[in-house]
Structure 1
Amino acid sequence: MNSRRLISSGSWLVRKLCTATSEKAKIKAAVAAASPMRNRLYPRLSALAATGGTVSEALNDFIMEGKKIRKDELGRCVKELRKYRRYQHALDIMDWMERRNLHLSHVDHAIRLDLIAKTKGIDAAENYLSALPPSAKNQLTYGALLNCYCNNLMKDKASSLFQKMDELRFTNNTLPFNNLMCLYMRLGQPEKVPELVDELKLRNIPRCRFTYVVWMQSYANLNDIEGVERVLEELAQDSEDKCTWTTYNNLAAIYVKAGLFEKAEACLKKLEKDMMPRQREAYHFLISLYAGTSNLAEVHRVWEALKRAFSTVTNTSYLVMVQALVKLKDLEGLKKCFEEWESSCSAYDIRLATSTIRGYLSGDLIEEAELVLGNAMKRSKGPFHKVRELFMVYFLEKCQFDLALQHVEAVVSEMGDWRPAPETITAFFDYFMKERDVDAAEEFCRILKSKNGLDSNAYHLLLKTYVAAGKVAPDMRRRLEVDGIQLSQELQDLLVNVCRE
């Protein structure tokens, strides 16, 4: 059987996965001494991710060069670093400010608390708030901690803190209510959102745009389209200024998800006619939502409108269009769009190649897909594991195990820390079950275990392979215990068949 290749090369794969390390990226001189960027603070701080220096060193060097650092400039740097999720560097700036005895405002304390939660954990954020002087324990800092609780789905702590804020009269605006609404949405309890809106009404607190958007989405999650439309009517009566592009974009997305394509397209037409901002993102939303309604003609029309509206078309715009064409299975249009981008792009984006390959493979255009991969490997440093996994899944579904294994070997050679995506793991085990090949499944599990990827889901699939093959493994229960796998009811049921003597 072809899958014996996995067994014969299995020990090599395990050794390779355990010992290979990805090649360290070469650090460019991000801030050359002669560059005018040396006179600006943010480029130096931004470059620290590549240079490996510290924030304190960068700030101190800047001052030693005779340059002044204004507090508002530091604030802008913190804002930019947060935007790019460089939370530790942003926190380091605020720590440096404190050491320099720069006054931290209430807003600064709230931002710092949020950064501490993101870098050091909730306990550290709680301790920071406790240590603040009474004047700094206000609506902003309590609100920041509430936001942290909600982001981390800590329902009990969020509810308790909200009650305390209520007692301190810190809940006289929509922000804390919005935080709780988002928490309930993420916890799968959308029915609680209208209750919070009723409380806002009871307290005569004006609803903001975001409140209306979450409120609409809560009814959508409850499959209550009439409820969504009632919220829209109330929003229109409340204030026309709150009926924005974002409002109708979200409404159109709700209609698309509900399969109400006529309503969705009517909404999109209104957007384009009355509220269309001159932003690339607006065109991106239109393209994606028209793809959701399966309207290929409108997708192409908006795409041409985007290209007329902007002198340059970004990689992100091409990616949105490629993904839309893949969704609509317009392989001819996909080929034209990708080749147009590939021939003119200044920076090769592996995401575009990956999406295009996904589209080609869905249409069994294997030669075209392999050609894209070959060109991508010439023009990009990767990583290529995601695109190779697409080939693995494709070949496994076609029962061409040898070809799938070639891509496994290639990924192992290219990077040592590869952990397959869940859908890739499922595809391998589906093949093993179909072939009733327990030996190959066990070898694949050894590969997963070498990179800490042998979890309860993988064991579940392994046990199903044993059942499909009609084979037993008396020591399986002990293996699960050694690997710390918690036994769900389904796993226990499978073990009854697999562990029998």
Structure 2
Amino acid sequence: MRCPSRCPTFMLSLCPVLFMLTGQYHSNLCRSLLSIFSQLTEVMTRRGMNPTVGDQAIRLDLVAKSRGIAAAEKYFMDLPETSKTHLTYGALLNCYCKELMTEKAGSLMEKMKELNFAFTAMSYNSLMTLYTKVNQPEMVPSIIQDMKADDVLPDVYTYNVWMRSLAARQDILGVERVIEEMTRDGRVAPDWTTYSNLASIYVDAGLPEKAEAALKELEKRNTGNDLEAYQFLITLYGRTQNLVEVHRVWRSLKRNNPRKANMSYLNMIQVLANLKDLPAAEACFKEWEARYIRPPKTKATDAVTTETSKLEEEASTEASNNDSDVKETEDKVTEELDLKRPKYDIRVANALMKAYVTEGMLDKAIALKKRAKMRGGRLNAKTWEIFMEHYLKVGDLKNAHWCADRAIKKGHSSGRIWVPPHDVTETLMGYFEKKKDVDGAESFVEVLKKVQKDLGTVVFEPLVRTYAAAGKKFPGMRHRLKIENVELSEETDKLVDSICVD
């Protein structure tokens, strides 16, 4: 996160944390932390710490994230006129763009132009990104023309967004003209993200040779051995079906980044699985597990790993032979291991489980699920979704329902809500209807209500039919449907009368 102006040390230290929290996830925990940070800035103000305009711009962004756009607008309106500069206007514009509020963003941009506040590329970039996200890429060229007319110099991000907007309109020649203009500019050097975008555009357009040429340029510009750049290289070479280059880049990544992140292994396993190189995917997983995952817990009398033998030897010379000493030694060893090894990232195991299921190796997928759990992995909604999709494919709706039930509950308990796709809900409700299983249907409905507010006809139409097929009565069904605001088809509505009879 780049602060728009000078920040006090306190706020500067928060910026990386806030970026990590808000870059990808929007859980209740993140929102709570953002709210706390916002409150802390209020305390700073009350204590007379005189925030700069840059601080106020950051706080406006925090308010939007933690309390919503309306609160951010109020904060902006309450600012003194001296604080309403290009920084705070730009922060509000960025908030509108993130929330995809096209009308408000457009109006505010016009206001900024009137005030001569739109003199940097940042505001134009935010607006172009907005139009790209709302599937209006045709708006981007006119914004570029406005920039040029207003003598606002584009930056590398400008060129990248411009390229993506042209690619969305299948204008590959236009994309190549942007690269040429960027080269002629001389002021802005294309970075590795530029060529990552270009390679992805060529892959989507079915031009693998041009894509690989762009990837070679990407590698030349990855002088800092950026881990993310390597991951893009692996993914994009995978999309060109070039397995040899995938393995070459992976070796380069391991050589230049010895402390690889879980995401590197996750990405590599997914790419190898897509290229049908399952043995290599298995080898990659085993390497990750050996490097980063502690072995399963064993009894105190079992042999320990080589890594912990020295610790136990030192501890045993000072400890007595009673049970409490054994327990203390074991706890110390476990604590040392926990400090050295991160927690089991179930996403990596999920990638290999998905590969097994895709290739019809259900037994291997089940064995890996058990192994992951034994080694400390916490199965998540995605784990169960993988197995659910398999059972749906083979027509085993009983097990598909079990997996869907587990996925919903796991997602709900972790705060990362998982809702089954519309067609899955429809299939499972149809299963209960066919089985005339009212209790099963009602149980599934109760689970769905934990994660989905409006269940609609996809749930209640088959539920009514299930009651009718089973010959069960529910006198309060019509009242229930009214509360749920569900309008049934004429045919199903007639069934309601039959099941509401006392």
The TM-score bracket by the shorter chain reads 0.7 to 0.9
* Change in 2 beyond 3 A, CA 1:270/1:140: same
Residue 255 of structure 1: how far off its partner (Å): 1.3
Residue equivalent to 2:493? 499
Residue 264 of structure 1: how far off its partner (Å): 0.7
Pair 1:209 & 2:193 matched: no
Indicate conservation of the 8 Å contact 1:442/1:462, yes or no.
Answer: no
2: distance between equivalents of 1:420 and 1:394? 21
Q: Deviations over 1:409-464 (max 9, x none)?
A: 656887864898455563353366589727458446523444142645x6337658
SS of residue paired to 1:437: helix
Residue 471 of structure 1: how far off its partner (Å): 7.9
Indicate conservation of the 8 Å contact 1:395/1:401, yes or no.
Answer: yes
Indicate conservation of the 8 Å contact 2:45/2:51, yes or no.
Answer: yes
Residue 197 of structure 1: how far off its partner (Å): 0.3
Larger RCO, structure (CA 8 Å, separation 6 or more): 1
Matches within 5 A, 1:53-452: 72-85=8-21, 86-239=33-186, 241-345=188-292, 346-347=341-342, 348-380=344-376, 382-407=378-403, 417=413, 421-423=418-420, 426-427=423-424, 429-430=426-427, 433=430, 437=434, 439-440=436-437, 442-443=441-442, 445-452=444-451
SS of residue paired to 1:453: coil
The amino acid across from 1:398 in the alignment is: V
The amino acid across from 2:360 in the alignment is: D
1: distance between equivalents of 2:454 and 2:436? 18
Indicate conservation of the 8 Å contact 1:81/1:90, yes or no.
Answer: no
SS of residue paired to 2:8: helix
* Change in 2 beyond 3 A, CA 1:355/1:383: same
Indicate conservation of the 8 Å contact 1:391/1:404, yes or no.
Answer: yes
The amino acid across from 1:179 in the alignment is: S
Q: Which moved more, 1:445-454 or 1:83-92?
A: 445-454
Residue 146 of structure 1: how far off its partner (Å): 0.9
* Change in 2 beyond 3 A, CA 1:432/1:332: farther
* Change in 2 beyond 3 A, CA 1:274/1:405: closer
2: distance between equivalents of 1:446 and 1:95? 44
SS of residue paired to 2:137: coil
* Change in 2 beyond 3 A, CA 1:267/1:410: closer
The amino acid across from 1:385 in the alignment is: A
Residue 262 of structure 1: how far off its partner (Å): 1.4
SS of residue paired to 1:191: helix
Matches within 5 A, 1:31-50: none
Residue 359 of structure 1: how far off its partner (Å): 0.8
Indicate conservation of the 8 Å contact 2:234/2:271, yes or no.
Answer: yes
2: distance between equivalents of 1:133 and 1:366? 64
2: distance between equivalents of 1:167 and 1:416? 48
Unaligned runs of 5+ in 2: 1-6, 22-32, 293-340, 496-502
Residue 92 of structure 1: how far off its partner (Å): 2.8
SS of residue paired to 2:51: coil
1: distance between equivalents of 2:135 and 2:373? 42
2: distance between equivalents of 1:90 and 1:398? 50
Indicate conservation of the 8 Å contact 1:426/1:461, yes or no.
Answer: no
1: distance between equivalents of 2:453 and 2:50? 50
Pair 1:460 & 2:458 matched: yes
2: distance between equivalents of 1:293 and 1:479? 54
SS of residue paired to 2:140: helix
2: distance between equivalents of 1:257 and 1:270? 18
Indicate conservation of the 8 Å contact 1:476/1:499, yes or no.
Answer: no
Residue equivalent to 2:308? none
Residue equivalent to 1:19? none
Residue equivalent to 2:323? none
2: distance between equivalents of 1:425 and 1:300? 39
Indicate conservation of the 8 Å contact 2:411/2:418, yes or no.
Answer: no
* Change in 2 beyond 3 A, CA 1:416/1:332: same
Indicate conservation of the 8 Å contact 2:408/2:418, yes or no.
Answer: no
The amino acid across from 1:362 in the alignment is: T
SS of residue paired to 2:198: helix
How well do the aligned residues superpose, as a CA RMSD in angstroms? 3.2
Indicate conservation of the 8 Å contact 1:77/1:90, yes or no.
Answer: no
Unaligned runs of 5+ in 1: 1-70
* Change in 2 beyond 3 A, CA 1:295/1:97: same
Indicate conservation of the 8 Å contact 1:174/1:208, yes or no.
Answer: yes
SS of residue paired to 1:242: coil
* Change in 2 beyond 3 A, CA 1:484/1:365: same
Residue 327 of structure 1: how far off its partner (Å): 2.0
SS of residue paired to 2:119: coil
Matches within 5 A, 1:479-494: 481-484=482-485
* Change in 2 beyond 3 A, CA 1:105/1:454: closer
Residue equivalent to 1:66? none
* Change in 2 beyond 3 A, CA 1:438/1:454: farther
Residue 496 of structure 1: how far off its partner (Å): 4.3
2: distance between equivalents of 1:498 and 1:480? 12
Q: Deviations over 1:170-194 (max 9, x none)?
A: 1122222112111111111110000
